[in-house]
Amino acid sequence: MPARALNFGAGPSALPESVLKQAGEGLLNFQDTGIGIAEISHRSKEFKTYLQGVESDIRKLLKVPNSHAILFTQGGGSAQFSAVVLNMLARHHERYPVLEPEQRVMDYVITGSWSDKATKEARRLGGGTVNVVADSRKFSAQGKFDNIPSHKNDAYKFSKNPVLIYYCANETVDGVEFAREEGNETSFPFHLLPEDSPLVGDYSSSFMSHPIPRLQNHAIIYAGVQKNLGPAGLTVLIVRKDCIVDVDKAAQNGAIPIPLCTAYRTLADHQSLYNTPPVLSIYISGLVLRQMMLEFGEDAMEKYAALSASKSAKVYDALKRGEQKGVFKSKVRDDSGSQMNVVFDVVGEGKLDQFIAGTEARNMKGLRGHRSVGGRSTLCFHPTWWANALAGVRTLVDYMIEFVEAESAVAQ
């Protein structure tokens, strides 16, 4: 087997080697049953107990209060673009039965291509009206997703009694993230929310890597696990219990009918086992959670957050150095940069390819940016597991600096 690559891919992304080895054993023999995890019934007592353990570890690590259920489903973040709308419209119908669709307002904060996609899905589904609370392109000199609007600028216009208020915590493609500290101008404007706001947060690309600010004030938080926690296939939902509603009753009263597997009520009533769940993804995610607990205990999120801050600071420092020498160009405003993925251009014809070739030669993989930003940018993802492999980030940073020095020497 070749040496394992330093995999910076944004998702699916690197998993801890110790977990992958354990998973190999679990494929042959899950919990001493003599049956592998991919073969055992999801209704066996061993699997059900395992699933409860996964839930309990997420609850402990993210400090999820009892007001919220933790549910497991499939379909990734993309399926939740639709599910959050349908479930929350049903809830709105329950609360306000006689309103017209134009009076059912869904507030969207658009800060990048993922929240933009979610907004388009809400418009496509109908049953309510979309209000764009803020669109970060309006605050960009180039009309691009390169910033998180400051809440000092009166940028956010929330509606009264909305169906939901939607935001994406970390925009994976564009490299912008709401600041995690509340005092910061680019943090999510929790203080501006109307009372009783049904807040929905897409945490797909920073899930289980830091404490979620004001988690208890959210109606729904969701994330596909494939960035930081496990293999693709599992989506984790944290849903405030009053948002788990009788969707069929709502449909009788005029709400859009909801496919059964998408209704939070179905998932909750069947302890997330209405149909066959993605057992392997649940298994490996569970192993990763155990590893987190072993490594840092119940305060692991705080520890990973500190590590993310220090890792990303090193990359941003190298990027700044490259900018000063005209070699790199950041794609995001200084106060909006993500701590998970750093997006930048390499200046000059063919220079991006040259930069990427250098990373590959050093066994670093997955550093080319998303195709939707023209492949002209480099995206470096910092999964939680680089926490104990700061060396991986150091390899990248050392190479960035080497590249900057070599390029600026050529230019002189």
| Tokens 């709400």 belong to residue | 255
Q: In this chain, which of 87, 150, 204, 384 binds ligand PMP, going by CB under 6 A?
A: 204
Shortest distance in whole angstroms from residue 235 CB to ligand PMP: 7
The whole-angstrom separation of Cα 317 and Cα 284 is 34
Three-class secondary structure of residue 82 per DSSP: helix
Q: Which is nearer to ligand PMP, 16 or 278 (CB)?
A: 278
Residue 78 interacting with ligand PMP (CB under 6 A): yes
Residue 345 interacting with ligand PMP (CB under 6 A): no
Contacts of 334 (CB under 8 A, 6+ apart): none
Residue 167 interacting with ligand PMP (CB under 6 A): no
Q: Which is nearer to ligand PMP, 278 or 322 (CB)?
A: 278
- Stretch in the footprint of ligand PMP (CB under 6 A) among 44-52, 84-92, 198-206, 259-267: 198-206
The whole-angstrom separation of Cα 303 and Cα 307 is 6
- Stretch in the footprint of ligand PMP (CB under 6 A) among 46-54, 197-205, 244-252, 277-285: 197-205
The whole-angstrom separation of Cα 406 and Cα 139 is 35
**Phi, psi torsion values for 236, nearest 5 degrees:** -100, 135
Q: Which is nearer to ligand PMP, 125 or 390 (CB)?
A: 125
> In the stretch 287-326, what mask flags binding to ligand PMP with x, by CB under 6 A?
----------------------------------------
Shortest distance in whole angstroms from residue 39 CB to ligand PMP: 25
Shortest distance in whole angstroms from residue 57 CB to ligand PMP: 21
- Stretch in the footprint of ligand PMP (CB under 6 A) among 40-48, 70-78, 189-197, 310-318: 70-78
Q: Are 368 and 289 in contact (CB under 8 A)?
A: no
Residue 119 interacting with ligand PMP (CB under 6 A): no
Q: Are 32 and 389 in contact (CB under 8 A)?
A: no
Angle at which helix 76-95 crosses helix 113-125, to 10 degrees, equals: 50
Q: Which is nearer to ligand PMP, 9 or 189 (CB)?
A: 9
Dihedral through CA 314, CA 319, CA 320, CA 324, nearest 10?
150
Q: Which residue is nearest to ligand PMP (CB)?
A: 76
Angle at 359 between CA 355 and CA 363, to 5 degrees: 165
Residue 198 interacting with ligand PMP (CB under 6 A): no
Shortest distance in whole angstroms from residue 321 CB to ligand PMP: 28
Return the sign of the alpha-carbon dihedral for residues 357, 358, 362, 368. negative
Q: In this chain, which of 9, 16, 26, 76 binds ligand PMP, going by CB under 6 A?
A: 76
CA nearest 166: which of 225, 102, 214, 115? Answer: 115
Residue 189 interacting with ligand PMP (CB under 6 A): no
Three-class secondary structure of residue 202 per DSSP: strand
Residue 228 interacting with ligand PMP (CB under 6 A): no
Residue 341 interacting with ligand PMP (CB under 6 A): no
Shortest distance in whole angstroms from residue 81 CB to ligand PMP: 7
CA nearest 278: which of 133, 19, 73, 58? Answer: 73
Q: Which is nearer to ligand PMP, 11 or 198 (CB)?
A: 11
The whole-angstrom separation of Cα 364 and Cα 260 is 43
Classify residue 157 by burial, with Cβ atoms within 10 Å: 0-12, 13-18, 19+: exposed
**Run of H or E including 78:** helix 76-95
How many residues form the binding site for ligand PMP (CB under 6 A)? 11
Angle at 367 between CA 399 and CA 213, to 5 degrees: 105
Shortest distance in whole angstroms from residue 166 CB to ligand PMP: 11
- Pairing state of beta strands 105-110 and 164-168? parallel
Q: In this chain, which of 9, 77, 337, 369 binds ligand PMP, going by CB under 6 A?
A: 77
Q: Which is nearer to ligand PMP, 378 or 399 (CB)?
A: 378
Q: Which is nearer to ligand PMP, 134 or 318 (CB)?
A: 134
Residue 202 interacting with ligand PMP (CB under 6 A): yes
Residue 178 interacting with ligand PMP (CB under 6 A): no
Residue 336 interacting with ligand PMP (CB under 6 A): no
- Indicate the residue type of 136: S
Alpha-carbon distance values, 170 to 11, 23, 179 (Å): 13, 29, 9
Residue 224 interacting with ligand PMP (CB under 6 A): yes
Binding site for ligand PMP (CB under 6 A): 11, 76-78, 114, 168, 172, 202, 204-205, 224
